């Protein structure tokens, strides 16, 4: 197994802490202690905690899309890919014990106090919606549906299911939206 580089270890540890306990509740000293590094090592790689937060978001975005591609690799057809996306988001919630979406959580925590972060999260959610839009467009080639409305509905249903599953600590909302999407994409 390849030895983990210091920068990667710092990001991994910070990512876990930011996700589990929140950005504001995570201190630099805790990151240093849990990554088992010297303070100088942290500042050799990141100029500030906000710089580390950016690296966290970039890492999570890369992993989000990569993991979805792996999850849906054997699925063919745009309709099936959309249902695979619902299943992927459900799987993410189950594996995190309903901890929620990294991006929703961070923007809820830092809000507009950090325009770089809120802008990054907006762009990430837009990329997700564009992915859904492409799948809906591909599906709509042979169907008579309002592509804009269906795209928006699917996006909002999935995001709502993530938040609802986090609040209720169960995955029932994903089963419900599956039925709703089936009704829009027969």
Q: For position 144, what pLDDT does the model report? A: 84
Structure-derived torsion over alpha carbons of residues 44, 45, 49, 55, reported in degrees to the nearest 10? 180
CB 28 within 8 A of CB 49: yes
Q: From the centroid of its chain, how far is CA 23?
A: 16
pLDDT of residue 124: 97
Complete domains list, the chain, with CATH:
1-46 (1.10.10.60), 57-184 (1.10.357)
- pTM of the full predicted structure? 0.90
**Which pLDDT value is given to residue 157?**
97
List per-residue pLDDT tens for the chain, 186 residues long: 567 799 999 999 999 999 999 999 999 999 999 999 998 989 999 999 999 999 999 999 999 999 999 999 999 999 999 999 999 999 999 999 999 999 999 999 998 899 999 999 999 999 999 999 999 999 988 788 899 999 999 999 999 999 999 999 999 999 999 999 999 888
Q: What is the pLDDT of residue 1?
A: 56
Q: What is the Cα Rg of the chain in Å?
A: 18
pLDDT of residue 141: 84
Cβ–Cβ < 8 Å for 146, 133: no
Measure CA 156 to chain center: 14
Question: Is residue 18 within 8 Å of 52, Cβ to Cβ?
Answer: no
| Per-residue DSSP letter, 111 | G
Calculate the CA 56 to chain-centre distance: 11
pLDDT given at position 4? 78
Note whether 158 and 86 are within 8 A (CB). Answer: yes
Place of tokens 């210091």: 6
């Amino acid at each position: 197994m390849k030895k983990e580089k210091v920068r990667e270890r710092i990001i991994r540890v910070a990512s876990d802490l930011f996700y589990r306990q929140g950005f504001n509740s995570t201190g630099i000293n805790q990151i240093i202690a849990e990554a088992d590094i010297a303070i100088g090592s942290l500042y050799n790689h990141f100029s500030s905690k906000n710089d580390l937060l950016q690296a966290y978001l970039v890492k999570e975005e890369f992993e989000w899309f990569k993991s979805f591609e792996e999850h849906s690799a054997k699925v063919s057809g745009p309709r099936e890919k959309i249902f695979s996306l619902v299943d992927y988001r459900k799987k993410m919630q189950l594996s995190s014990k309903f901890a929620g979406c990294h991006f929703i959580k961070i923007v809820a925590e830092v809000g507009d106090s950090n325009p770089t972060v809120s802008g990054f999260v907006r762009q990430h959610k837009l990329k997700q919606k564009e992915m859904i839009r492409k799948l809906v467009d591909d599906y709509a080639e042979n169907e008579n549906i309002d592509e804009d409305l269906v795209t928006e509905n699917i996006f909002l249903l999935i995001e709502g299911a993530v938040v609802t599953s986090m609040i209720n600590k169960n995955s029932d909302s994903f089963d419900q939206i599956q039925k709703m999407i089936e009704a829009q994409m027969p």
